[in-house]
Amino acid sequence: MSGEVTAASSERGVSRRVATLALVALLALVGYLAGTGQLALGANATKGTVAIKHTSIGNVLIASNGHTLYLFTHDKSGKSLCSGQCAAFWPPLTVKTKPTAGVGAKASLLGWTKRSDGRMQVTYAHHPVYFFVKDTKAGEVEGEGIVHFGGSWWALSASGAPVKESAGGGTTTTDSTTTSSYNPPPTPGY
């Protein structure tokens, strides 16, 4: 009988170790995906269509999933300066093909830029665009006006200007926060 008890205990110990290893592997994968910005909101969107949608702060740029897109005032010359931990909170909208303009968005303002990790990020009016992880539903604007990672985060208007809430509860759009010459990257060969 003690042999049966020892065998059963040994099997339970092996099962626990296998379950623990599986849990550790799953947590490592989730941590990796969150760190690269690929976990939140489908940041590696296959559809690079952006459009304009009415929200609580006015008309803002959204991705094909309905989630608000933001600009980061710390970005320079049309290049993203948000990676690592920053991209975990503010996942970039990345694509594999040229982005397209949906309802209300201006095709002439759309572009893309190469990120430090080699992925192509959608730009609008020369601003790389990002999601915010706390925007869990389409049309939410929880990231509006946050100062984080060395800059401010603003939703974009149809003209590409930041949308900012005024003291009276209305919204205003301001001129672009950065000026630069912009040369879109060459279209990758597929």
Distance CA 187, CA 25 (A): 37
Task: Collapse the DSSP code of 141 into the 3-class scheme (helix H, G, I; strand E, B; otherwise coil) and give the result.
Answer: coil
**Do 110 and 69 contact (CB within 8 A), yes or no?**
no
Q: Which residues of the chain have pLDDT under 70?
A: 1-46, 165-190
Phi, psi of 4 (to 5 degrees): -70, -40
* Helical spans, DSSP H, in the chain: 2-36, 85-89
Give burial (CB, 10 Å; 0-12/13-18/19+) of 44: middle
Tens of pLDDT, residues 111-156? 999 999 999 999 999 999 999 999 999 999 999 999 999 999 999 9
Give burial (CB, 10 Å; 0-12/13-18/19+) of 98: middle
Classify residue 79 by its DSSP letter. Answer: B
| pLDDT computed for residue 188 by the predictor | 36
- pTM comes to 0.67
**Do 112 and 123 contact (CB within 8 A), yes or no?**
yes
